């Protein structure tokens, strides 16, 4: 059936990693994005809408970055399948191939490959501002003639930088032709590369001396000694900022919640509703909400490091040490993302081409201290060392280090237990340094803030309310004795759980909080906050949890719970992700099992040894 020329209603962005494709997507769609829950690196399906100058609405799909349609990673396979019609996605009306103007020699090959797909194509020549700065001149018209397709210059970091592309979307596109694409062999690729070189030489003029400062910066950043020192400083500054600036801001949010709690308490009569509001919602879920500043600062650092091009350098520096543990430098970025949340971390492993490396990385990702642990760590450490910031910081660093060391040990054991002759691959681009794009930073932070608020507002709030109900409803066993809390359903369940958790030093309140903690670690904090608010005096809602823990828990219990949080198999969403990414229940159960064993053992030893040493 012959289709008449039509205006594109759905477009897809295709391009090499590091071509500025995601920044261009953010510029085109702004806040009108439908992003899947976890957006770390561009591995999820991202779709948005834009409005053309003529006022039409166009859907934009941001495909995962790919060097070639000869897919080596799952990421690239997704891109290939979508644009060759081997997925459930409908083919786009127009394919926008994004090419970096400062690196056309590398990116033109993908344009030539995309030409064979039969889908109407336009080239977005991105980073034109940077090309001009580096003294690179490109004859855009001549390039379009050589390629036989339209070329529009774009600047994804400038507000009006996509105007040319948007104008283009109001022009009719030719009907889709038939695809002549087939996976290319080495000889064909070589011929394509000759064609690339011919077009490149005819259309691009470069200065005799490369003006890109990346090489000079790399002499320091990638130096075996100075580079590692810089990396250490970068990680240290990140860490200190999260816990000093973030902690300072958290203090303000805490005071606001305490004030709000007091306000509600004063305005309402005593009763179930007031209990639910003050104890359950403000004292419980609010206790988790206060960690928003710390989590955002952590993400700000990770997003900025990602946007600057520094992360692959860090991966390069750590490749050798990580290979001792059976991993490669490629595991570095997924593991670093796992400090924010294991789920985007696990999804980012899709860029690891070697399956064994990928599996090992997935298995150890939950040992990286994710941001959901921050509330629990902070609370207990503050109770352990009140007014001693140095000791508190050292212990915090120790807990993070313990997670990393354990992860490397587990990877090492995995490698030893299944020896292979297969080599792990590195082959990784180290892109030019650039300033992180402010718009992408803001959108990234906004996404994370929304995910966190949704989490606090839905799952954590719901679990806290359930916990509040369990603590409020009396146990059906009439002979139960003690305070109302001890006689509640929750008190009974907590009592039963003592058989498992008493040997590692957890009291009833901790034990029962660990059950909903399976869904979200932070509930340990919100649940404890609620219990102590229920037990506490009427006039002190906020800020007393830490004091109660400091005075009522033994040293062994505090340390034991810290160790538990380092290792425990928590957060069901992580398990669901592992199942989905490995396509296997087996690996999910192995992960859960080994984490539980490590957690129980570590807590048991800690509790018993501490008790022995302190003589209690």
Binding region for another protein (CB under 8 A) = 67-68, 70, 72, 102-103, 105-106, 109, 185-186, 189-190, 193-194, 197, 210, 212, 214-215, 218-219, 222-224, 227-228, 312, 315-317, 319-321, 323, 329, 422-423, 425-432
Question: C-beta of 370: minimal distance to another protein in Å?
Answer: 27
Rg (CA), the chain: 28
Residue found under tokens 């650092």: 301
584: Cα separation from own chain's centroid: 22
Which of 90, 144, 97, 140 lies closest to 116 in space, CA to CA?
Answer: 97
**Shortest separation between residue 581's beta carbon and another protein, angstroms:** 21
* Distance set, CA 562 to CA 53, 384, 516, 544 (Å): 56, 11, 17, 19
**Which residue number, 235 or 426, has a Cβ lying nearer to another protein?**
426
We find the least distance from the C-beta atom of residue 357 to another protein, in angstroms, to be 12
Cα angle value 328/333/339 (rounded, 5°)? 120
Cβ nearer to another protein, comparing 55 with 224: 224
* Contact call for residues 97 and 121 (beta carbons, < 8 A): yes
Q: Residue 109 CB, nearest distance to another protein (Å)?
A: 6
Min separation Cβ 437 and another protein, Å: 19
CB of residue 435 to another protein, shortest distance in Å: 18
Q: Cβ closer to another protein: 218 or 540?
A: 218
Strand, helix or coil for residue 474: strand
Tell me how far apart the alpha carbons of residues 487 and 378 are, in angstroms, rounded to a whole number: 30
Query: Which residues, at least 6 apart from 592, have a Cβ–Cβ distance to it below 8 Å?
Result: 569, 575
Minimum separation from the CB atom of position 83 to another protein (A): 17
Contact 49, 32 (CB under 8 A): yes
Write down the least CB distance from residue 318 to another protein, Å: 9
Q: Which is nearer to another protein, 120 or 431 (CB)?
A: 431
Q: What is the DSSP letter of 502?
A: G
Q: Nearer to another protein by C-beta: 147 or 278?
A: 147
What are the distances in angstroms from CA 35 to CA 39, 208, 249, 454, 577? 7, 43, 28, 14, 17
Distance set, CA 548 to CA 194, 388, 469 (Å):
73, 18, 22
Cα angle value 337/341/345 (rounded, 5°): 45
Q: Is the Cβ–Cβ distance between 461 and 334 less than 8 Å?
A: no
CB 590 within 8 A of CB 361: no
To another protein, the closest distance from the beta carbon of 229 in angstroms equals: 12
Query: Which of 328/574 has CB closer to another protein?
Result: 328
Q: How far is the CB of 77 from another protein (least distance, A)?
A: 13
Instruction: Output 320 or 454, the one with its CB closest to another protein.
Output: 320
**In the complex, what is the shortest distance from the CB of residue 322 to another protein, in angstroms, rounded to a whole number?**
11
Closest CB to another protein among residues 111, 461? 111
- Least distance CB 206 / another protein (angstroms): 8
Based on CB atoms, which residue is closest to another protein, 135 or 262?
A: 135
Q: Return the HEC string of 147-212.
A: HCCCEEECCCCCCCCCHHHHHHCCCCECCCCCCCCCCCCHHHHHHHHHHHHHHHHHHEECCCCCCC
Select 174 or 232, whichever has its Cβ closest to another protein.
Answer: 232
Between strands 46-51 and 57-62, the pairing is antiparallel
Nearest residue (CB) to another protein, 317 versus 392: 317
- CA-based torsion, 155, 158, 161, 166: positive or negative: positive
Angle at the Cα of 150 from the Cα atoms of 146 and 152, rounded to 5 degrees = 115
CA pair distance 440, 429, nearest whole angstrom? 21
CA 431 – CA 583 distance, rounded (Å)? 32
Q: Which secondary structure element, helix H or strand E, spans residue 580, and what is its range?
A: helix 572-582
Nearer to another protein, 26 or 102 (CB): 102
Residue number with CB closer to another protein (432 or 472): 432
- Least separation in angstroms between residue 427's CB and another protein is 6
């Amino acid at each position: 059936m012959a289709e008449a020329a039509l205006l594109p209603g759905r477009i897809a962005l295709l391009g090499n990693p590091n071509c500025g494709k995601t920044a261009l997507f953010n510029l085109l769609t702004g806040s009108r994005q439908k992003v899947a829950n976890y957006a770390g690196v561009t591995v999820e399906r991202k779709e948005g809408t834009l409005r053309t100058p003529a006022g039409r609405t166009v859907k934009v799909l941001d495909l995962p970055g790919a060097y070639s349609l000869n897919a080596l990673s799952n990421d690239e396979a997704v891109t290939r399948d979508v644009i060759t019609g081997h997925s459930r996605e409908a083919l786009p009306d127009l394919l926008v191939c994004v090419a970096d103007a400062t690196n056309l020699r590398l990116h033109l090959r993908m344009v030539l490959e995309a030409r064979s797909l039969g889908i109407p194509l336009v080239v977005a020549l991105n980073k034109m501002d940077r090309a001009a700065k580096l003294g690179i001149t490109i004859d855009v018209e001549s390039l379009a003639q050589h390629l036989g397709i339209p070329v529009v210059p774009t600047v994804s970091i400038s507000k009006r930088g996509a105007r040319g592309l948007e104008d283009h979307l109001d022009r009719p596109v030719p009907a889709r032709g038939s695809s002549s694409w087939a996976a290319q062999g080495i000889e064909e690729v070589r011929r394509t590369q000759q064609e690339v070189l011919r077009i490149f030489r005819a259309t691009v003029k470069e200065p005799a001396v490369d003006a890109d400062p990346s090489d000079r910066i790399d002499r320091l950043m990638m130096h075996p000694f100075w580079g590692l020192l810089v990396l250490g400083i970068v990680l240290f500054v990140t860490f200190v900022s999260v816990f000093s600036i973030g902690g300072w801001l958290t203090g303000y949010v805490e005071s606001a919640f305490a004030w709000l709690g007091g306000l509600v308490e004063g305005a309402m009569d005593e009763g179930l509703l007031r209990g639910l509001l003050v104890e359950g919602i403000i004292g419980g879920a609010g206790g988790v909400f206060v960690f928003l500043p710390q989590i955002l600062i952590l993400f700000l650092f990770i997003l900025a490091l990602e946007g600057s091009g520094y992360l692959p350098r860090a991966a390069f520096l750590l490749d050798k040490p990580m290979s001792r543990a059976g991993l490669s430098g490629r595991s570095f970025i997924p593991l670093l993302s796992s400090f924010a949340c294991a789920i985007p971390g696990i999804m980012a492993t899709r860029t690891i081409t070697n399956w064994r490396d990928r599996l090992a990385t997935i298995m150890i990702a939950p040992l990286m201290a994710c941001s959901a642990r921050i509330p629990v760590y902070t609370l207990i450490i503050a109770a352990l060392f009140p007014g001693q910031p140095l000791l508190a910081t050292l212990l915090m660093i120790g807990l993070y280090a313990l997670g990393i060391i354990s992860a490397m040990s587990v990877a090492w054991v995995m490698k030893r237990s299944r020896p292979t002759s297969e080599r792990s691959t590195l082959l990784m681009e180290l892109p030019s340094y650039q300033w992180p794009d402010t718009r992408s930073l803001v959108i990234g932070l906004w996404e994370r803030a929304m995910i966190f608020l949704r989490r606090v507002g839905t799952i954590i709030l719901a679990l806290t309310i359930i916990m509040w109900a369990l603590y409020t409803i009396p146990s059906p066993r009439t002979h139960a004795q003690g305070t109302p809390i001890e006689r509640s359903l929750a008190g009974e369940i907590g009592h039963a759980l003592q058989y498992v958790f008493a040997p590692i030093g957890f009291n009833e309140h901790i034990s029962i909080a660990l059950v909903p903690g399976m869904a979200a670690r932070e509930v340990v904090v919100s649940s404890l906050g609620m219990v102590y608010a229920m037990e506490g005096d009427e006039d002190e809602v906020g800020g007393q949890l830490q004091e109660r823990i400091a005075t009522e828990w033994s040293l062994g219990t505090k340390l034991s719970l810290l160790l538990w949080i380092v290792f425990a198999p928590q957060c069901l969403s992580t398990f669901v992700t592992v199942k989905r990414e490995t396509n296997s229940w087996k690996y999910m159960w192995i992960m859960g099992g080994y984490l539980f064993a490590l957690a129980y053992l570590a807590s048991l030893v800690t509790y018993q040894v501490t008790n022995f040493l302190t003589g209690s």
